[in-house]
A and B are shown apart, each in its own frame.
Chain A
């Protein structure tokens, strides 16, 4: 199993600075996307600090022993890495008033042994595209998602809601943050899309899936196309996309051909 990865980010056409950040560590199969917030309070500092902390934590052996609430050690380790990032952001915000109030979302996946470990906080998402469809593997920690889950509004209404920007969880808010964990088995041909709300609010699910299919074999082209589409649709926000394509190993594709 080999992973082919593409990544792209853009400030968009309205915002003065890009507060999104992404991390691609192909050798460790670790992929992270963050959407920083806090305006003057340095959202870009929070998102950068988050990816650096998560990357360092995984490099230094986050893969502890034992499971956590039934999750594999790798998944539990990724969750601890995100918790570490949360603490780092809170500490920085408290030690420097210029950074007070900063925060960030995070969506991260760490792949190994055919399993994608997933951790997320906020409204950045992870999607899976494969033969059986196009599916979000994360549920936003947002007011509108809570309303949808409670049956107060339907999915259609949530997409038009003017309150889409209210998050219920974010890194940098409280020390005892609950990081949501998940696991998904992956197979050759699967494509994972990690992205910020700058993409999901400007490009429909159908168009996201179509782009992933159109640029199969070239995840960088898929990312570039998605970012360009978001900007053609107004580019109201920073936008980031990371696409991970699961390919067969060279050996197995050789055997399949023969």
Chain B
């Protein structure tokens, strides 16, 4: 008997045999094939027998039903067809044990320079089906996940040349490293008249910048008023301490 195999991320979640009775697919629990995801409509699609064939019909779902990447309203199912409902795939097969490989999401999402984007074919289908002038559309079959930038292999360190901060050296692992008396300050100043935050060092892509917050800030003896890029070997003087920055 033909069956529908529900998959997510290449994992088989459940199966549903298709016989003479129509099969409904949707988010609500009384469907024959339940996909518990907000991107799926309550009653999303159905599959029913028509002569010797099985027909898939989209039940005017919000986010649409796709077969082999193409949006469909009604489609006669063929062996191995891959149905996309929200982020889940449903494979139609007429052979018991055999399974057809479902395309992975990554195939629609080529990586370009580390940033994932939709490929143009997918975009076109997506736009044709989803962009019907509704207020704001959400499409979550493809979600590019841009990683939070790390140090990109370059490591910034601060060595304490003079003054008391508790440690003699700091690795700038944070996105923003605060210098001051505040609890959130990583480079902790000690003393009665030290400011909560004297200056902040921020990681920007491959490099680091420093910004004075509430104290006079000197880099290599020059007064800094706005944001300044740090170069390896820079000497930072702020609120009674002298720090050396190194980028390696």
Contacts and interface: CB of A to CB of B under 8 A. Distances in A.
A163 B140 contact: no
Contacts of A187: 211-213
B226 A131 contact: yes
Interface string A215-247: 000000000000000000000010000000000
A6 interface: no
Nearest to A99: B38
Interface centre among B115, B135, B182, B184 (most CB of A within 10 A): B135
Contacts of B143: 168-169, 174, 178
Interface stretch (B15-23, B51-59, B97-105, B122-130): B122-130
Nearest to A139: B146
A25 interface: no
B136 A165 contact: yes
A210 interface: no
B24 to A, nearest CB: 15
A114 B115 CA distance: 31
Contacts of A101: 38, 41, 62
B200 A115 contact: yes
A162 B140 CA distance: 19
A90 to B, nearest CB: 6
Nearest to A68: B148
A43 B137 CA distance: 12
B180 A178 contact: no
A71 B175 contact: yes
Nearest to A102: B38
A70 B148 CA distance: 9
Contacts, number: 146
Given A39-B135, A162-B131, A115 B117 contact: no
B14 interface: no
A143 B118 contact: yes
Contacts of B131: 162-163, 165-166
Nearest to A93: B38
B154 to A, nearest CB: 14
B148 A113 contact: no
Interface in A143-202: 143, 146-147, 149-152, 162-163, 165-170, 172-174, 178, 180-185, 187, 197
Nearest to A100: B42
Interface centre among A146, A150, A185 (most CB of B within 10 A): A185
A132 interface: yes
Interface centre among B38, B173, B227 (most CB of A within 10 A): B38
Interface residues of A, number: 54
Interface string B138-169: 11101111101010000000000000000000
A123 B176 CA distance: 24
A208 interface: no
A178 to B, nearest CB: 5
Contacts of A174: 37-39, 87, 140, 143
B11 interface: no
A114 to B, nearest CB: 4
A97 B176 CA distance: 43
Interface string B193-226: 0001100101100000001111000000000001
Which 6 interchain pairs have the tightest Cβ spacing?
A: A37-B136, A150-B117, A114-B197, A114-B213, A183-B176, A185-B200
Given A70-B203, A152-B120, A163-B131, 11 more contacts: A15-B135, A71-B176, A72-B178, A75-B175, A101-B62, A113-B180, A115-B184, A146-B117, A146-B118, A165-B135, A174-B37
16 contacts: A35-B136, A37-B138, A39-B134, A70-B150, A71-B174, A100-B41, A101-B41, A103-B138, A115-B176, A115-B184, A143-B126, A146-B118, A166-B137, A168-B144, A173-B140, A184-B202
